[in-house]
Amino acid sequence: MAVSEFTVQRAWQANRASPARWVLSHVGRHWIFLVGILIGALGNAGGAQLVPLFIGQAFDAISHPQPDYGVLATAAILIVASQIVRAILQLGRNFSAEIIGQRLERDLRDELYASLIGKSMSFHDRQKAGDIMARCTNDVREINLMMNPGVNLVIGSGAFLFFPAIFAWSIHPQLVLIPLAYIALYVLAVWRYLAQLLPASRAVRHNFGLMNSALAESIEGIETVKGAAQETREIGRFDQALRRWRDAFVRQGDVESLYWPQLLLGVTMAFGLLHTLVLFNAGQISVGNVIAYNGMLMMFGFPTFTAQFSFAQVASGMAGARRMLDLINAESKLDENVGGYDAPMRGEVTFDHVCFDYNESLNPCDDQSAAALRDVSFHVLPGQTVAIVGQTGSGKSSIIKLINRIYDVNSGCVKVDGVDVRDWNLAALRRQISIIEQDVFLFSRTISENIAFGVPGATQEQIEAAAKAAQAHEFIMAFQDGYQTVVGERGVTLSGGQRQRIALARAFLTNPRILVLDDSTSAIDSATEDMIQRAIFRAAEGRTTFIITHRLSQIRWADMIIVMKKGRAVAVGRHEELMRLSPAYRAIFDF
């Protein structure tokens, strides 16, 4: 199993060795419906072959000088009865294929989503959100269509290949040769067809993902696009992505057009007719046999024409399965460490010669590098309030992301309560740390659900108490639906200050042992800031608090101030001490 920050424990594990084995392992769970497809396919093909046989018998019965109408009536009854049975089996086959397709789509999407949720931030940093969305929606849908109609038609048409050879023997042994020759040449032609079709289908799926990424970026950054008046440029950029997808789709169409079995079918029909006429002229078969045999050869038309479509659908589905499995099998840099340290947290934090950078190929301890953090060391006692200050890009937020293991250090170690964070049970570590970032993310849900996100079982009274502590209760109640007001995606229907106060309420409700405020009052007016600062001061009592801020009013009352500059902790102390001894600290307030 790939390393993951979070995994869903399942009683059953799919085989992820290859896309084909992955899909087959899921399909195998619904084997009873697979049996239904096979029985329906055999019944459909067998029933279709009976029609020309009965017609041939009927033709022989009435072509004599004394027609036998009893045989004709019997043949008609048998044709009707066989087709009724065939229709029932066909219904069962299509129903079974649809059930497998829908369940396969459900199970694969569920597995992919659970895997994505468990991947580390370093993994998601490398991904394009639009491409991931394409894999989670369109690619998984292609797998559904691969089963029905794709695989359903492949199995159904495959059954049509063998019955002509079986029934031809009952007419004349020599007549088996042409169906067998067709089957052999058909398999070779389809093999060559698939060898060209699979890479073409992968290119289509890949370029569709890139097109979706371009669309997602434009929509997500629509405010920036409009603010810079770059609508025309973004339309051109999307047109380029759309053109690449179109070209890949056209190339797939070119491959599908070079489908040799259609020509092979025409040659087979011609030789079949010629062979039966030779045998008829020699008196070895009857005219009814000629009609029956050539009617059976016409059954090859179904696999010939449907395979062009069905194999293309299968190729597209397998290309989608490969793209999905690539995400699922991708290794994360972090693991959840289920058996790790799990205890109530006191809040002691130690950085011991920590080096870190987001670029994994960079050596962050190299003095010449522009790493996020280089040789950072400090020690925070439980219950202390720590202010982290410095210019933009100095590494302030990087410190916070190492405490709760959003990222892992490249060298050195980060300890919480004297235990390396890598030795903690990841869920236990993060459950006791609450971070409020400058860019607050709210879900498109009710305000009440957003506040209770970290504590799903919280009562309404607890939610309102947390909101009051964050100075959010008053503006929430001003909405028509109060706490049941649904905020837009990312909280776009709220002001920046309102979003940050809801985030504060969310943090207060979780009652963390370590509270981190990453410039979380930057979008709040001065009057509200005074109230929130008092709330933060109360919330900081008894818990370790990290504050990333440029506001002197918040920095002054910190027990410890860490001054960051170009990834290094250049000074550590209290406000008065640093104002005397640290030029870098004084420079922050020289404005």
> 49: closest CA among 390, 300, 354?
300
Rg (CA), the chain: 35
Which string of DSSP letters, residue by residue, matches 156-202?
A: HHHHHHHHHHHHHHHH-GGGGHHHHHHHHHHHHHHHHHHHHHHHHHH
Among the residues of 452-565, which ranges form H helices?
A: 460-469, 473-477, 496-510, 526-540, 552-555
Report the DSSP beta bridge partners of residue 547.
387, 517
Mean pLDDT of 74-102: 94
Please give the residue that has the higher pLDDT: either 333 or 408.
Answer: 408
pTM, entire model: 0.75
Instruction: Summarize pLDDT for 489-536 with one digit per residue, the tens.
Output: 666 678 777 888 888 888 888 888 999 888 755 555 666 666 667 667
Domains of the chain: residue spans and CATH: 19-329 (1.20.1560.10), 346-432+514-523+543-591 (3.40.50.300), 438-511 (3.40.50.300)
Q: Residue 149: is the preceding peptide bond cis (ω within 30°)?
A: yes
Tokens 């395979």 correspond to 307
How many beta carbons lie within 10 A of that of residue 145, not counting itself? Answer: 17
Per-residue model confidence (pLDDT) at position 60: 85
Per-residue model confidence (pLDDT) at position 528: 62
Instruction: Give the pair of three-digit tokens for residue 125.
Output: 């940093």
Structural contact between residues 189 and 264, judged by C-beta atoms closer than 8 angstroms:
yes
Which string of DSSP letters, residue by residue, matches 20-57?
A: HHHHHHHHGGGHHHHHHHHHHHHHHHHHHHHHHHHHHH
State the pLDDT confidence band at 449, using cuts at 50, 70 and 90: very high
In the chain, the amino acid numbered 307 is A
Distance CA 141, CA 271 (A): 42
Instruction: Summarize pLDDT for 537-547 with one digit per residue, the tens.
Output: 766 777 899 99
Spell out where 364-486 has E strands: 373-380, 385-390, 411-416, 419-420, 433-436
- Helix crossing, 19-27 with 301-329: angle to 10°? 100
What average pLDDT is seen over the chain?
A: 86
- Triad 557, 563, 565: Cα angle to 5°: 155
Of the given ranges (214-223, 306-315, 376-385), which has the lowest mean pLDDT?
A: 214-223
Please give the residue that has the higher pLDDT: either 489 or 380.
Answer: 380
State the pLDDT confidence band at 214, using cuts at 50, 70 and 90: confident
Structural contact between residues 358 and 126, judged by C-beta atoms closer than 8 angstroms:
no
Distance CA 403, CA 412 (A): 13
Per-residue model confidence (pLDDT) at position 83: 93
State the pLDDT confidence band at 89, using cuts at 50, 70 and 90: very high
- Check whether 591 has a pLDDT greater than 60: no
Instruction: Summarize pLDDT for 288-297 with one digit per residue, the tens.
Output: 999 999 999 9
> 578: closest CA among 340, 301, 390, 358?
390
Instruction: Summarize pLDDT for 149-202 with one digit per residue, the tens.
Output: 999 999 988 888 888 888 888 889 999 999 999 999 988 988 888 888 889 998
Strand 433-436, strand 514-518: pairing: parallel
